[in-house]
Amino acid sequence: MSMLRRITQSFVFSLGALIGAHFGARLALQAAHAPTPPQLSFLLLDNPFRRIYRDPVRTVDFVGVHRNAHLLDAGCGTGTHALEAATRVGPNGRVYALDMQASMINTVARRAELQHASNVVTLLAPLHRIPLPADSVDCVMMISVLPEISRRKMALAEARRVLKPGGALVAGEDVFAPVYARPTTTRKWLEEAGFKLTGQAGNGLAYLLRFVRPISAAQIAFGAGDRES
């Protein structure tokens, strides 16, 4: 057997083992109705296979993060997307990395320190009690989060509360996540919470949906009054 063939077989075997372990962990979490524990973060959040279809660079590109923005990564996990966003907002911007698991938040804090990302602020809290003021962030990311939330309506109401009028919320799911929701289901959840769909990317296997918090007529009138005074 040639060296190339042995290397190819070894690669295929390793990839198969990784994918098998990924799906095994996914099924276990579905049965337990639990968020992804940190012990399985490499298999379900940070493995190279996931980065093929959920590349943090392309994800943050789709969000449309601008310099000096304040962004909330709700259900940040190990911080892969939050840390990418931190490179976009600059030193005067802020990325709030929120998760309900202390071990995940500790991981994000360590990674931010290693990357000298002083603009990352970690928040240990459930998504239905976001410790931020109203109208305080320009963008919200919810990647592989919504199907796992037991208090989904409350969490989306909180996301809408902290998001500035006209701000963007990007939700994304993929079939390889512990719990999956179809694009039509995610769209229904967000529109029922008062968001308006403005863009989409990907497909049914791995997708991103961009929504906006609409600006009300009263807010438009108030802004016009401020300009005239």
Q: What H or E segment, with its residue span, contains residue 143?
A: strand 137-143
CA 218 centroid distance within chain: 31
pLDDT class for 5, splitting at 50, 70, 90? low
Higher pLDDT, 83 or 25: 83
| pLDDT value at residue 177 | 75
Backbone angles phi, psi at 45, to 5 degrees: -120, -40
Domain residue extents for the chain: 40-218
Residues 213 and 165 sit within 8 Å (Cβ to Cβ):
yes
| pLDDT value at residue 18 | 47
Weakest mean pLDDT among 91-105, 108-122, 210-224? 210-224
Looking at domain 40-218, its CATH architecture is 3-Layer(aba) Sandwich (3.40)
| pLDDT value at residue 59 | 93
Per-residue CA distances from 77 to 11, 100, 169 (Å) = 28, 9, 17
Residues 108 and 75 sit within 8 Å (Cβ to Cβ):
no
Two tokens, residue 213: 């918090």
Higher pLDDT, 33 or 157: 157
pLDDT class for 49, splitting at 50, 70, 90? low
pLDDT at residue 28 greater than cutoff 80: no
Residues 81 and 75 sit within 8 Å (Cβ to Cβ):
no
pLDDT at residue 50 greater than cutoff 60: yes
Whole-model pTM: value is: 0.78
